[in-house]
Amino acid sequence: MPIINMIVNLGSAVMMPIIFFVVGMIFRMHPAKAFKSGMLVGVGFTGVSMVITMMLNALGPASKAMVERLGLQLTVTDVGWGTASTISWGSPIMLVTVVGFLVINAILLIPNITKTVDLDIFNFWIFLLVGTAIYAGTDNFWISVVAVWIIYALTLIVADITQPIIQKQFPNKDLDGISFPHLTCLAWVPFGIIGNWICEHMPGLNKIQFDPETINRRLGILGEPISFGAIIGAVMGIFAGYDIPKVLTLAVNIAAAMYLLPVVVNVLVSGLVMVKEHVNKKLRIWFPNRKFYIGMDTALLIDDPAVLSTGLLLLPFAIVLAFILPGNKVLPFADLASLMFLFAIIAPFCKRNIFRMLISGILIIIVIFYAGTSLAPEFTKAAVDSHITSVKGFTFITNLVGPVTTWVGWLFIKGSELIATLL
């Protein structure tokens, strides 16, 4: 347990270079090349983390100011995905569950039930969090573990199914042979399909073409990501009640994030491609009739202008919905600035149309608020069980961009509680 916690505490920027170096060596890559590819992945993750942190630090105070201006007084506080991941790795079910993930992935690969070799080990916390909440609600170790194993297996299969669509809709990215076994994002794919269907079948809405390329073509320089980011940042600053210097600073910070994210993601991808191409070449020799995908973090997709823009546009909608939805008790806070992560895999199913993604996003936020309200006792007890002291002083807690507040998380947690009462 201490060894695993030590490795996890290194973070993805250190874990992933080690993983990719080891993978390169297993597949007989030249040590120098394996080292370089691992370091490029690490540098890329570090760059992504730096840019996102800058953006979150800029958006956090603005989000808080908007919440305070509306005077929201709600009892379930959004503590963010960072706290949620800490809860996961401190869970009593962590060690057995993580070992099970590795075994399940291997078992599913052998008979070709899945093509995904999941290297996104840092994001195992996403699955663990659901299990931790189940354990908090049932006090049953094995119900919690088995439920999460089932979710993990299903996620690998869904990652295979969605891979060709994601690859097709992000033509400017080299996503051949890469899948995304990311439960939080995959869970919302049906909502992307629903939002797209609504817009396709409603007169007028089906004429709205709001993808980044169309915006850029029609608006010229004003439609470029750097300009669009500055405009969104300025508008958010105004909504937050900022003075002019603060509005301008926020505008520049968001513009910088929109411009820099693709740059640092390209560094990450360059290291990934080196390993991916070598691994695929060896696998074609060893398994000539098989196709494999490398499971990666959706951070590879977060730099897309449609993803970033929709996440930023959804932020004020989320605050207003928290205020007007009857029965909602979730106070959006720490994860407000991270809403763009919800759209990484939704974007291809909405054809990267920002308007359609926003419609899907509103539906998603409604579900998140009600799921968060419903599961607040389990989430809060999970934090206590994991000995997280930073949540003291809150009545109840949750997080917006995480697995527990997805419809999948809600169904498995409530279903597991029902099973536990029947046993």
Question: Residue 78 is inside which H or E element, if any?
Answer: strand 76-78
Q: Which of 63-72, 115-124, 151-160 has the lowest mean pLDDT?
A: 63-72
Q: Give 18's pLDDT tier (boundaries 50, 70, 90).
A: confident
For the beta carbon of residue 348, count every other beta carbon within 10 angstroms: 22
CA 90/CA 1 separation, integer angstroms: 9
Question: What does the pLDDT read at residue 260?
Answer: 81
Residue 172 has pLDDT above 80, yes or no: no
Q: At 161, list the tokens.
A: 């199914």
Residue 410 has pLDDT above 70, yes or no: yes
Q: At 159, list the tokens.
A: 């990652």
Q: Give 272's pLDDT tier (boundaries 50, 70, 90).
A: confident
Show the domain range for 27. Answer: 2-422
Q: 265 and 303 in contact (C-beta within 8 Å)?
A: yes
80 vs 367, more confident: 367
Highest mean pLDDT among 95-104, 334-343, 385-394: 95-104
Question: What does the pLDDT read at residue 154?
Answer: 97
CA 275/CA 111 separation, integer angstroms: 24
Q: 164 and 119 in contact (C-beta within 8 Å)?
A: no
When pLDDT is averaged across residues 145-150 and rounded to a whole number, the result is 96
Q: What angle do CA 125, 408, 142 make, to 5 degrees?
A: 60
Residues in the chain: 423
Q: What angle do CA 18, 21, 27 make, to 5 degrees?
A: 140
Residue 88 has pLDDT above 60, yes or no: yes
Q: At 374, list the tokens.
A: 């419903």
Domain count, the chain: 1
Q: Give 184's pLDDT tier (boundaries 50, 70, 90).
A: very high
Residue 1 has pLDDT above 60, yes or no: no
Q: Give 390's pLDDT tier (boundaries 50, 70, 90).
A: low
20 vs 354, more confident: 354
Q: 125 and 88 in contact (C-beta within 8 Å)?
A: yes
DSSP string of 88-133?
HHT-TTHHHHHHHHHHHHHHHHTTTS--EEE--GGGHHHHHHHHHH
Query: How far is residue 128 from each of residues 89, 165, 421, measured CA to CA in Å?
Result: 7, 27, 22
Reported as a single tens digit per residue, the pLDDT across 198-239 is 988 888 888 888 777 676 666 566 557 677 778 878 888 888
Question: What does the pLDDT read at residue 221?
Answer: 60
Q: Which of 102-111, 151-160, 271-280 has the lowest mean pLDDT?
A: 271-280
Q: Give 83's pLDDT tier (boundaries 50, 70, 90).
A: confident
363 vs 331, more confident: 363
CA 52/CA 397 separation, integer angstroms: 23
- Average of per-residue pLDDT values in the chain: 85
